[in-house]
Amino acid sequence: MGDFNLNLQTAEEHLDEDDAEGDVVLGVLDGSTPPEEWVQSVARGNVLFLAIEGDLNKLASGFARDVKDMDGQLMHFRKFLVVSPPGVDINTDSL
């Protein structure tokens, strides 16, 4: 095998400085959680993965606009609502 001059000591300099923050929060979207809690969770950098129990439009109406206004994303996928904070894209290329 040939010598390929890999310098691990300087590799960190080339990594992105934007470390991922936040958690993936699993929950149930059934109206029992105040919309403000979902907004605050997304504002803290969390991704929400919510099982929908009821009418999605009615259940998400209390927080969807706030999430979009902060440049977050919402995606209905099967029986779930995925909500991401600003800077975290929901990639649907494989769907």
Whether residue 18 is predicted with pLDDT greater than 80 in this model: the reply is: no
Residue 32 maps to a domain: yes
pLDDT band at 22 (very low <50, low <70, confident <90, very high): very high
Residue 47 maps to a domain: yes
Whether residue 36 is predicted with pLDDT greater than 70 in this model: the reply is: yes
Does residue 39 contact residue 67 with C-beta atoms inside 8 Å? yes
Identify the three-state secondary structure at position 86. coil
pLDDT band at 16 (very low <50, low <70, confident <90, very high): low
Residue 12 maps to a domain: no
Residue 7 maps to a domain: no
Q: Can you give the residue range of the structural domain that contains 72?
A: 21-84
| Number of domain units in the chain | 1
| Backbone phi and psi for residue 88, each to the nearest 5 degrees, phi listed first | -115, 105
Residue 89 maps to a domain: no
Average pLDDT on 78-84 reads: 98
CATH number of the CATH domain containing 73 = 3.30.110.150
Whether residue 90 is predicted with pLDDT greater than 80 in this model: the reply is: yes
Extract the runs of DSSP E, i.e. beta strands, from the chain.
Answer: 24-29, 47-52, 73-77, 80-84
